Amino acid sequence: MSKVLIVDDDVTFCLMLETLLVKHGYIVSQAFTYSDGRKKFIEFQPDIVLTDLRLPDHDGLELLTLLKSESSKVPVVLMTSYGDIRTAVKAMRMGAFDYVAKPVNPDEILATIKRALKSGDTEATGKTVPFVDLYLEGESIAASRISEHTSLVAPTGMSVLILGESGTGKEFVARRIHQQSERHLKPFVAIDCGALPRDLAGSEFFGHMKGSFTGAFNDKQGQFEAANGGTIFLDEIGNLSYEIQVQLLRAIQERKIRRIGSTVEIPIDVRIITATNEDLKQTVSRGDFREDLYHRINEFAIQVPPLRERPEDMLLFTSHFLSQANAELGRNVTGFSDEVLEIFKNYSWPGNFRELKNIIKRSVLLSKSQIVSQDTLPDELVNESTHSTHQVIQKESIVADHSPVDEFSLRESARKSERDIIVSALEKVRYNKSKAARLLNIDRKTLYNKMKQYDIPLQ
């Protein structure tokens, strides 16, 4: 029987979930804090961990990072309120197998656990993995541009920088480039730089020798060696420390690496593909990212637009994810109601394609008929979509009732109002851009673009 560790400070919820899992044949252990969860993980040796995103003594993401460093093969599923969708998406990038929204649906959590355990060799950060998922091109102008640029750059040896928000499919583009290159029979190694502990990044990249630091009990091959002859994909490269940036620049320039604690240089032949959801130019200007490294990795840039800017691709991807969900869950849902499609159209999709996929999977699981209906969608998604629709109607009414001069004045007023809101948010968090972006419910790149548009100083 499989062992499940539940980490959540809600005692009643833990008992209810334990009762459900025990009834379905699982062995369950509970922890109510980060510290207790860490201890139970070592003692209980679970096959899967279910953890709340918000714990009393630490952030759930810290527990995720710790667990993945302890044992990257144990899948971790986040349990979170729908309001924390952006953090849940970040958790997926950090190695979480999946997330489920609270209140937890029994069928959904059981299906998620079953999939996680069935995966067995769940992909861990930095491991060589096959390209098994279907790459869907899309039909929009943006999708055609990505396809064209990918086909042009793939046969070359150029370093590629892929830009885009979280969940837009940057790794899919990287894998597509690898598959269309002459290196396609060699390894493709993906590393999430945002999930790497700073003190272990050098070892993960370049390897180490036994005894080179505390905990180095054996020689270890780095991921650059593992990718030799193939492609290495560095996701969220903007998160690397300055020290690792220096080492990475040297490896790219000299095509040689040196394991930590070794004096022997190892020649490498790898193609570098990187990705980020940040504005690296701004990062360079702040002195947080080396300019020479930026130019090395940016021989060719590909911009992957967010889902909200690709409405033409919405139906294609909803059908694709519907087929995937049916296959995974053993269901036979055939389509979506008109109301659901309208909600999808008006929603902002902060988690992009990853969020769309998860919403559809959840809806398929909850559907009582062959058509996905509105009552299977999270309330927050429906509410935001409805609010957006009302705003459009109000705007159209104002435009119809006012002269061109009044319309211009309205735009200027809206522009000033947006600037004031952004400045107010920045002042509230003492110009911490990440906190301000979260407060405004936008990504950091959008915030920087808005600040530039409105001539707001970076401070």
Q: Please give, one letter per residue, the 3-state secondary structure of the chain.
A: CCEEEEECCCHHHHHHHHHHHHHCCCEEEEECCHHHHHHHHHHHCCCEEEEECECCCCEHHHHHHHHHHHCCCCCEEEEEEHHHHHHHHHHHHCCCCEEEEECCCHHHHHHHHHHHHHHCCCCCCCCECCCCCCCCCCCCHHHHHHHHHHHHHCCCCCCEEEECCCCCCHHHHHHHHHHCCCCCCCCEEEEEHHHCCHHHHHHHHHEECCCCCCCCCCCEECHHHHCCCCEEEEECHHHCCHHHHHHHHHHHHHCEEECECCCCEEECCCEEEEEECCCHHHHHHCCCCCHHHHHHHCCEEEECCCHHHCHHHHHHHHHHHHHHHHHHHCCCCCEECHHHHHHHHHCCCCCHHHHHHHHHHHHHHHCCCCEECHHHCCHHHHHHHHHHHHHHHHHHHHHHHCCHHHHHHHHHHHHHHHHHHHHHHHHHCCCCHHHHHHHHCCCHHHHHHHHHHCCCCCC
pLDDT at 154 over 80: yes
Q: What is the pTM of this model?
A: 0.59
pLDDT at 246 over 60: yes
Equal fold, 141-305 vs 308-384: no
The arithmetic mean of pLDDT across residues 307-322, rounded, is 88
**In the structure, what pLDDT confidence band is assigned to residue 30 with cuts at 50, 70 and 90?**
very high
**In the structure, what pLDDT confidence band is assigned to residue 93 with cuts at 50, 70 and 90?**
low
3-119 CATH pick, 3.30.565.10, 3.40.50.2300, 3.40.50.300, 3.40.1010.10: 3.40.50.2300
**In the structure, what pLDDT confidence band is assigned to residue 127 with cuts at 50, 70 and 90?**
very low
Average the pLDDT over each of 70-84, 101-115, 400-414, 433-447 and give the range with the smallest value.
Answer: 400-414
Domain 141-305 has CATH 3.30.70.20: no
More confident residue, 54 or 362: 362
Return the domain boundaries, the chain.
Answer: 3-119, 141-305, 308-384
pLDDT at 161 over 90: yes
pLDDT value at residue 407: 41
pLDDT value at residue 280: 92
The arithmetic mean of pLDDT across residues 196-202, rounded, is 79
Average the pLDDT over each of 129-133, 171-175, 197-201, 414-418 and give the range with the smallest value.
Answer: 129-133
Class assignment of domain 308-384? Answer: mainly alpha
pLDDT at 273 over 80: yes
Tens-digit pLDDT profile for residues 389-420: 545 445 545 444 544 444 444 445 555 577 88
